[in-house]
Amino acid sequence: MREVAFIKQNKEKWLNFEKAIFGKTLKNPDELASLYIHLVNDLSYAQTYYPKSKTILYLNNLAAKAFQKIYKTKREDTNRFVHFWKIEVPLIVHQYRRYVLYAFVIFLSFSAIGALSAAYDDSFVRLILGDHYVNMTLENIEKGDPVAVYKSGSNWGSAFGITLNNLYVGIKAFIFGVFAGLGTGLVMLYNGIMLGSFQYFFYKEGVFWESVRGIWIHGSMEIFAIVIEGAAGLILGASILFPKTYSRMTSFKMGMKDGVKILISTFPFTIAAGILEGYVTRYSNVMPNWLSVGIILTTLSLITFYYLVYPFILHKKLKNKYAII
């Protein structure tokens, strides 16, 4: 069958299914699951006979959205809060995994640019961090405590202020994605260059290890969360630039909804990073190496597993159980 005939034959069915998914016209998960099976069959047919067609992209995206709704509304549904963190967010992250990859590549590239700029231009660090901060840090290095800046202020005051600032940065990284993703890119540019130049500054002063075992106690989750929030912003931007077969408004609503869920999922990690920075990082210089390194590896492992490992494990498990594409 020619592709045009295939589309014409099934177009009405797909449109009705799309209305059921996005318009919530179907509330019965069994009825939805029955239509889902037909959709999967159509997708398999299209993959076999029209491997380079845009129809595959449309059907694959529709199937992924359908699966999320079926799993959410199935009779043995779990607590909504648990479902959000355990199922919904990981599946969304897996669906947009390439944007997570793009975010990491972009952020690491900007960090490398920041480090190289600091290496070849002695004034660059002062330009990025400011003379006051650089001079203060140099004084702290001479006193034998390179990360003494984290000891300023009270524990709870520092944790509260830092957490609010990090939440602001994350929300801004996402919201600025509305400018076709360019705003998100600028947020990642600033933070990436600042991180790269900041770490090179300590390396140049010969206290790189002391800075790592202090800064990354909270930095592992803080920086990782910013990258994920950047990915959410890129998703929002892509929903505007590349609506695929949807209207631009429908695509934007989908990108906004999925992006917000990813953004919200980062908040516990951001809050935890703020607490660590306010209560733990300030004691890094008196901690044994095994403790500081242990905290860094634990926090990094937790957030890495949730965003980079668990989504693939969950997707594979559900794919085998429910034939998800």
Of 45, 73, 101, the last residue of a domain is 73
Can you give the pLDDT at residue 25?
Answer: 55
Other Cβ atoms closer than 10 A to 9: 11
Task: Give the chain's radius of gyration (CA, Å).
Answer: 23
What is the number of structural domains in the chain?
Answer: 2
Gap between the Cα atoms of 162 and 36, Å rounded: 46
Residues in the chain: 325
Range of the domain at 26: 3-73
Can you give the pLDDT at residue 150?
Answer: 82
Same domain, yes or no: 60 and 99: no
pLDDT per 10-residue tile (average), the chain, 325 residues:
81 78 59 70 80 80 72 57 89 93 97 96 91 91 86 80 94 95 96 95 93 93 97 96 84 92 97 93 89 96 97 83 52
Same domain, yes or no: 56 and 96: no
Can you give the pLDDT at residue 77?
Answer: 47
Of the candidates 86, 99, 109, the residue with the CA atom closest to the CA atom of residue 189: 109
CA 83 to chain centre: 18
Can you give the pLDDT at residue 147?
Answer: 84
Angle at the Cα of 228 from the Cα atoms of 222 and 230, rounded to 5 degrees: 105
**Residue owning tokens 């009779």:** 75
Can you give the pLDDT at residue 76?
Answer: 46
Residue 22's identity, in one-letter code, is: F
Same domain, yes or no: 199 and 109: yes
Structure tokens at 319: 């794919």
Of 14, 39, 73, the last residue of a domain is 73
Gap between the Cα atoms of 26 and 20, Å rounded: 5
Same domain, yes or no: 194 and 255: yes
Can you give the pLDDT at residue 32?
Answer: 65
Same domain, yes or no: 207 and 243: yes
Of the candidates 50, 2, 69, the residue with the CA atom closest to the CA atom of residue 59: 50
**Residue owning tokens 């797909």:** 14
Can you give the pLDDT at residue 74?
Answer: 53
Same domain, yes or no: 262 and 122: yes
pLDDT, tens digit, for every residue of 273-302? 999 998 998 888 888 999 999 999 999 999
Can you give the pLDDT at residue 322?
Answer: 53
pLDDT, tens digit, for every residue of 168-182? 999 999 999 999 999
Can you give the pLDDT at residue 75?
Answer: 44
Same domain, yes or no: 57 and 17: yes
Same domain, yes or no: 104 and 232: yes
Gap between the Cα atoms of 118 and 114, Å rounded: 6
Q: What is the largest CA-CA distance in the chain?
A: 78
Structure tokens at 262: 């990813």
